[in-house]
Structure formats: structure tokens, C-alpha cells
Structure 1
Amino acid sequence: MSKVVTLSRLACIGFIAVLAGCDASESIEGFGGPAQGSTYSVKYVHKQGGPDMGTLKLEAEAIFAEVDRQVSTYRSDSLVEQFNDSPAGTCMTMPEGVFTLLNAGQQLNRDSGGAFDLTLEPLLDLWGFGPKGHGQRQVPDAGAVQQTLQRVGMQYLRVEGDQLCKDRDVQLDFNSIAAGYTVDRVIDRFIELGVDSYLVEVTGELKAAGIKPDGQPWRIALEIPRSGPRAIQRILQLDGYGISTSGDYRNYFEEQGVRYSHTLDPLTAAPIQHKLAAVTVASTSTLMADGLSTLLMVLGPEKGFEYATRANIAAFFVTREGDGFVTRNTEMFDRLFAEGDKP
């Protein structure tokens, strides 16, 4: 279910550029660096009397470190990895952030009939896409899949007060929503400090709000979902929305002429096998945009579009057709983003 390198989640980054406005005002400041197995970038409008760049950078990186300590699957000392290494029947006290992520994952799991699952790490490892898969990407035999499925299932997780418990030896993996959650956390802190115009991106998940000094909104570009040179497909103007793109075009392997994506369908325990190349979701919650883009990618072009329409989700679908692509938007996406916002 992974989609972007985050806490070492493997990868398709759906945004190729943050497009600068016409005004090169010094009031727009920015910084970035490594984060969660990939990178992050921040642009914001600095106002007189507001926090300086150094303060904002320290605040952002403190949040990255906190989230990493709690839910990284690439740190043996993280809380989630300690939980994963514990046997069935274990209960562990967890911080509020873990339960925020778990509650979001449980909601997506329920609403989709199981198409979204936070316990897929053993299957991702088996197919060679997970943190313990050691890069050995190959089609596993049916027996290994069935055995691994005994360690998968969100129904085996339960909460008792401030403790998270597991009734089977399941492996919890928040990589499909952790980056979006991190973006929201960073922005919440910036707002507390008085920043009201910003674009924050963490490992490809992003959110922007406010206007720049030239009166223009923040603009981002979506890329055409192909493995060759990157090119812009659509430009979006953002004000208060988080954006997440999932796709299968940069992280896959081929065996005997069959392409296997890193996105796994929890209901089949195998990589998705449909023609949906990428899906972009917009939501006021970047955490939910992050999870929903994965969920719709799993459901595919037809079921995913039906789900997004029924749930009033702003989504942009890109489907392979012959040597090209066909795009389709939900009504909510059209309401948020004018059709004219194209390169």
C-alpha cells in the first residue's frame, strides 16, 4: 500500500514542481532538507514581527523527529517497531499521534470494505517492497502468501484506554498516511506561530494556504504518470487543501512479461492489476488525502471513481489507454479546481 518514500515508504512522487509566482519578493522565504526517508520543503510568506526561518525550521524538524520516533518502520527503536516485534497478545502504551493515525486508518478500512489496511507490511516484505523485503522483488508462491496472511488484518488490533493491543502477530505500518499527517502537524504549528501563507511538502504530500505578496495563490504541478522524463499534466491553485498523488509508474518490477506494482490490494494480497496509472486527491486534511489516494489507487478506475463520487471526494484519475492516458475528474474536484488551470 506504500506510495512515497516516507519513513522509508517506497515511492511514486506525484508532484514534480512547486511553481513560483511572478513576484520574487524577499518576503517569500523557504527551506528544506531530508525527512522521513526522503525530503521536505517549506515556502512561506514572512511578515514583519513573524517567526524567523531558523525558528520555523527547528519547529518543523522537531515534528519530523517526533513522528519518526513514534512510527518509523526503519528504526528498530521506534514505538511501532517495538510493537511489531512483540508477540500476539501484547499491549503497549502509545501517544496521541499513534491513535490519530490508527483512527484514520480504521475509518478508511471500514468505509472501503477492507481496501485500505495498515497491517500489510508482511505482504509488502514478501513481494519485496517492504522495509524487510531486502529489495528481493519476485512473485511469491501461494503457500507463502497464505502463511503471511495469518499476520495481516486490522481486525486483530484493539485499543484499551491509552494502550494499543494485538490479538495476532500483525505488523502495523503507517507509511500510507504518515507523511500527510506530518504535513498537517507542521502546518498546525506554523499557524500557532502566526504564519498564514505557506506551502509545506513532505515526501510528496503537501498543503498550501493563503496568498503570496503579489496577490497570487500558491500553485503546484501534477506530473504525467510515466516512467520517462517528467512533464506537467495539470496545474492546481491551492488555498487550504492538502494534495496527495498515488501511482504505479515509478516503483514496480516485471516478471515473465507481467508488471507488478508496489501498491498491494489487501483483498487479493497481490499488486493491483488494473489500468489506473495515478490518482490525485484534494482534502482539507492532508492525512486523509494521503490515505484516500492510496485507497482509490487500490480500487481502480471504475470502483475508485464510484467510491470517490459517492463519498464526495475531490479526485483526479489518470487511466492508461493504448499508448496514452485518459483523465477523469469527480464533480468535487471540478468545483475546487478550474479546468483552465493547465500548463
Structure 2
Amino acid sequence: MLFIALSGCGNGDSMESFGGPTMGSTYSIKYVRTQGLPAPKVVQAEVEKILADVDRQMSTYRSDSDIERFNDLPANRCQTMRAPILELVRVGEQLSLQSEGSYDLTVEPLMNLWGFGPQAREEKIPSPEALATAMQRIGYTHLRIDGDQLCKDAAVEVDFNSIAAGYSVDSIAATLDSMGIHNYLAEATGELKAAGKKLDGSPWKVALEEPRDDQQVAERIINVDGYGVSTSGDYRNYFEQDGRRYSHTFDARTGAPITHNLASVTVINPSALMADGLSTLLLILGPVRGWDYAEKHNIGAFFVIRADTGFVTRTNQAFERLSGGKTE
């Protein structure tokens, strides 16, 4: 939902880039290589190690991942977990508390029921009885961390898809910094973080897409330096029935996809992890509650709202400040 606007050329130093598949999508890294910095193949090996670790720990699409082994456990069981998983569970709990339960990491049974999850069979509106049964397995309050163990008192299933990519980008950014690479743009599945400048000294530019499922059209171009950027939207993964759109984004309190007219939200934040989670949270809350939440918590947010005549955009002062203002 984000794509990178690159321009300019340098002299002396070189711009390096590489990428590949990850998390059912792709990743890409661009960085300015100066004398003494590692070769791209060395950097790529470190980046792909991070992505492989995240996949092995957090993927809901492989049965041997740490989180899927936990998801297979019955109620009232615990499993020893690595620190990154426990960190993301704590972040998820924070976002759930702040959204009064609308955001929730345990929505995987709902995703499967409505046809969007890893075990989905068909995109369809579930029966009230099936929905009520699934809701018995929803709720972040059923999770508990005990030392290095993650425990559950109901047969809940954890889904990190709303924050795992942001976590990956933060981890990649920290690794690049540790290798002496301070001018880079790191992106995974559309979540990104940029720091420093491009080869010609100009800022990294990121184009925010118009929320369309037929083509890529830049709605806005922003400058990014030292921040993570994430966009969440309802326009890429949905189905329609009886003239109504059903998105893959759920409000855990209702057990149903969002139905308001907020098409997408972009968040800019020092942490790509928090940008990732907050963009989902704001999308769930919608154009009114989400906007009020962003203002209350000083979150840089860019809203794209459906209207009869097309799309209407709304951005707050925090977003303008962090993105360097309009660049068109």
C-alpha cells in the first residue's frame, strides 16, 4: 500500500539495492554504500536471517512456527516463547486496551470464518450461530505472559499479521545501523522505515497510494527521515455480497469486518512496529473515532475517506510535521 519514489543520482559513493520474497509478499532494501561499508551480499544475508527468524516464529501460514504451535494448544496451556513474540503480545495488549478491545491479536478464528485466514475455506457471511461460536475464542484477555511463557485460558489463536512486518522493519533498521549503514530505506510487505538521505543528498520520498484495487496512483508524496511508515486499507482484500463490501479488517468487539467509509490510513511513527499496529487500529476505529484517537495520542495520521464524489483526504498536524509537509 506504499510505494517508493526514487529520484536523483549520486557521484562517488554508490546506491545499493536488493530484495526478494517474504511473508507472502516481498521486501526491498536500498542504502548508500560508502567506503568501508559491507557489500550488498553481506547485508542481504543479515536481512534475510531476520526475515527467516520472523517467519519461523510468527507465521500463521506454516504449521511448525512457534505461534502456530501455540495456536494448536487447547485452553489452559502454556508454551515457552522467544522474546520477540512476547514483545509483540505486549504491544497487542497495549493497542487492545487503548481501543477498548476493537483491536485484538486473537482474531484468527474470525479471519478463517469469514474466508480471509490461513485456514479459510470460502469467503462468505457466516451464520449467527457460527459467529457466536467463534467469538468464544476471541479476546486478548485470554492471553497471559508468565515469565518466558505465553499462556491461554481459552482456545484462542494469535495472529501477528498487523504488526509482524513492522517489527521486521525495525529489526532490519537496527541491524543496518549496527553495520554502519545510516542512509537507507528498508521495506517489507509495504511497511517501511527510512533514515538519512539518498545518494544525491535529497530525502527519501514515499508515495502514498490512492485506495484503488485496479492500479497504483500516488495520492500524496512525503519525505521520510528516521521514521516508520505504514498504510492499512480495506481495498485489496475483501469480498462483496448483495452489493456490500466485507473487508479483511475486523472489529473484535463485533466479530464482523469494518463497514464505515474510511478507506485507508497512513501512520508515521519513530517505530515501524507501532506505525504498523496503529494504522490497523485507526482503520478499525473509523473516520471519527480513529481521528479522535490520533489527535488525543498525537499520532501522525493521513486518512483517505470514501465519499460520493470519490475520495476525501484528511491529515493532522503531527503527520505534516513528521513528513516534512507536502512535497507535490
Q: Tell me, yes or no, whether TM beats 0.5.
A: yes
Partners of 2:113 and 2:120 within 8 A in 1: yes
Query: Match of 1:151, SS?
Result: coil
What is the root-mean-square deviation of aligned Cα atoms in Å?
Answer: 1.0
Higher relative contact order (CA 8 A, sep 6+): 1
Partners of 2:222 and 2:326 within 8 A in 1: no
1:63 aligns with 50
1:239 aligns with 225
CA deviation vs aligned residue, 1:170-221 (integer Å, no higher than 9, x gap): 0011111000000000111111111101000000000000012311011110
The structural deviation recorded for 1:227 is 2.0
The match for 1:289 among 250, 271, 275 is 275
- Amino acid of the structure 2 residue aligned with 1:321: A
The match for 1:149 among 135, 145, 158 is 135
CA deviation vs aligned residue, 1:292-341 (integer Å, no higher than 9, x gap): 00000000001100000000000000101113111111221122234431
Listed as ranges, the matches of 1:105-144 within 5 Å are 105-134=92-121, 136-144=122-130
2:197 aligns with 211
CA deviation vs aligned residue, 1:81-119 (integer Å, no higher than 9, x gap): 100001111111101110111111111111111121000
Q: Is 1:320–2:306 an aligned residue pair?
A: yes
Partners of 2:295 and 2:316 within 8 A in 1: yes
The match for 1:310 among 296, 299, 302 is 296
What are the ranges of 5 or more consecutive residues in structure 1 without an aligned counterpart?
1-13
CA distance in 2, matches of 1:239, 1:271: 34
2:60 aligns with 73
The match for 1:183 among 155, 161, 169 is 169
- Amino acid of the structure 2 residue aligned with 1:224: E
2:75 aligns with 88
- With the length of structure 2 as denominator, give the TM-score of the two structures: 0.98
CA distance in 2, matches of 1:227, 1:31: 27
The structural deviation recorded for 1:274 is 0.5
- With the length of structure 1 as denominator, give the TM-score of the two structures: 0.93
CA distance in 2, matches of 1:113, 1:264: 14
CA distance in 1, matches of 2:82, 2:52: 14
> For this pair of structures, how many residues does the alignment match?
327
CA distance in 1, matches of 2:27, 2:215: 22
